[in-house]
Amino acid sequence: MKKIAFPTNDRVTVEEHFGHCREFVIFNVENGEIVNSEFVVPPPHAPGVIPNFLGQLGIHTIITGGMGGMAIDIFKQNNIEVILGARGSVEENLKVYLNGNLESTGSACSHHHGEDHEHGHNHNCGN
């Protein structure tokens, strides 16, 4: 069983910065099929807290828009695959991921986004 987590604020779309989400939706997947899903409320955002929290839940993959370099390192220490650059529908991103076609297109947040992004907004992912 593989556990895949997405940050969300509305239970429909990917929150582009995982540390600012109200909940995580966690999908349990076996043999490429969704077995079930659940929503969990993370602890308050502080450096390192959420990656360790998801590690304790046994998450295998986190799919989000962006995150800081320290968070990426902690996820990797917990053997959690990090996929950045996701946006839009959680379900659509999950389908693409399960089909083997979702690749990490984002980068660690250490600057203002938007210089070359077509979605036209800037946000600071600083921790």
Domain boundaries, the chain: 2-98
Q: What is the DSSP string of the chain?
A: -EEEEEEESSSSB--SBGGG-SEEEEEEEETTEEEEEEEEPPPPP-TTHHHHHHHHTT--EEE-SB--HHHHHHHHHTT-EEE----SBHHHHHHHHHTT--------SSSBS-SS-TT----B---
Mean per-residue pLDDT, 30-57: 94
pLDDT in tens, 78-110: 999 999 999 999 999 999 999 998 888 866 654
Mean per-residue pLDDT, 40-52: 92
Q: What is the pLDDT of residue 18?
A: 84
Q: What percent of the chain has pLDDT over 90?
A: 69
> Which of 30-39, 73-82, 93-102, 112-121 shows the lowest per-residue confidence on average (mean pLDDT)?
112-121
Q: What is the pLDDT of residue 13?
A: 97
Mean per-residue pLDDT, 8-24: 92
Q: What is the pLDDT of residue 22?
A: 95
Does CATH place domain 2-98 in 3.30.70.890? Answer: no
pLDDT of 14 over the 60 cut: yes
Indicate the pTM of the whole model: 0.83
Q: What is the pLDDT of residue 105?
A: 81
Q: For residues 16 and 107, which has the higher predicted lDDT (pLDDT)?
A: 16
Query: What is the C-alpha separation between 44 and 68, in angstroms, rounded?
Result: 16
Cβ atoms of residues 48 and 27 within 8 Å: no
